[in-house]
Amino acid sequence: MKLVRYGKPGSEKPGLIDADGKIRDLSAHVADWKGDALSPQSLARIAALAPASLPEVTGNPRLGSCVAQPGNFIAVGLNYADHAAESNLPVPKEPVLFNKAPSCVVGPYDDVVIPRGSEKTDWEVELAIIIGSRASYVEEKDALSYVAGYAVCNDVSERAYQIERSGQWMKGKGCPTFGPLGPWLVTPDEVGDVQNLSMWLDVDGERVQTGSTKTMIFGVAHIVHYISQFLILEPGDVITTGTPPGVGMGMKPPRYLKPGNVMTLGIEKLGDQRQTTVAWSA
């Protein structure tokens, strides 16, 4: 299934995409895509519905984040060896973890705001994992059974805040609008081999990132297993899993986003995003 949230910010409704690409309203069956609505039992109940029996959503509504604001939004850094190299950092021996603020989550086509005083806002196309079952101390062999689905994430980053302002990376990762997520949550049965998906990102029509999830240092199952050793993952939590090379920080000379730039990005089987950057205003 491809699950969506549509409508104005703060008033999104749950839906699914039918075989013809139309949005079908699910608000009579589920309140929102969050928490236990993403459990295996809930998703099985939704999968048993006939899409044609659900109301068709007409027009061209805005798509919100494919999950409601998560309790945890965890990111894995330097998870592609070639990206670590362009960042002049060693390949990590264990996953590098940091937090993105749940409040940074926005829809896949919403504007991205350049933070006040920013000079080094950057892009990162990433595979996001959405958790469907409470996970604590899970074994790697069982880890994928805790996943509700996958989505595209743009892990927008302010490099000066992240790297030059001391402390932890989260300062450059959780600014408002720095977490476009969607357009859909795609359930694992439609994704197939999650470790073999092509991914890309363009800035103003120029291809800057090309990669594949097959080159991840730590795969999805290991990431879910690993994080669950340190904290409890709850249904609706989001994990974004690292980016391939081609970020602005790694260019020579470095290249960063300015107001008016357009980012388009996507991952095979998970859909595409498009954001325009805008200047911060009070």
Give the pLDDT confidence score for residue 141 in this predicted structure: 98
Q: Which strand (E) or helix (H) includes residue 81?
A: helix 81-86
Buried b / exposed e across 188-199, counting CB within 10 Å, b at 16+?
beebeebeebeb
Is it the case that residue 134 has pLDDT exceeding 80? yes
| Per-residue model confidence as pLDDT tens digits over 51-61 | 999 999 999 99
Separation CA 122–CA 161 (nearest Å): 11
Q: pTM for the whole thing? A: 0.96
Separation CA 115–CA 25 (nearest Å): 35
If you average pLDDT over every residue of the chain, what do you get? 96
How many whole angstroms from its chain centre is CA 51?
26
Dihedral angle over CA of 277, 156, 220, 96, nearest 10: 170
Give the pLDDT confidence score for residue 258 in this predicted structure: 97
Give the pLDDT confidence score for residue 85 in this predicted structure: 80
Is it the case that residue 89 has pLDDT exceeding 80? no
- Residues with Cβ < 8 Å from 197, sequence gap 6 or more? 127, 191, 212, 213, 214, 267, 268, 269, 270
Give the pLDDT confidence score for residue 45 in this predicted structure: 98
- Per-residue confidence band for 170, with pLDDT thresholds at 50, 70 and 90: confident
The total number of residues written for the chain in this structure: 282
Q: What is the mean pLDDT of residues 247-274?
A: 97
Give the pLDDT confidence score for residue 20 in this predicted structure: 96
Q: Name the percent of the chain lying above pLDDT 90.
A: 91
Q: What is the mean pLDDT of residues 125-141?
A: 98
Q: What is the mean pLDDT of residues 158-175?
A: 90
Separation CA 38–CA 101 (nearest Å): 21
Q: What is the mean pLDDT of residues 87-101?
A: 90
Domains of the chain: 2-53 (no CATH), 73-279 (3.90.850.10)
- Per-residue confidence band for 83, with pLDDT thresholds at 50, 70 and 90: confident
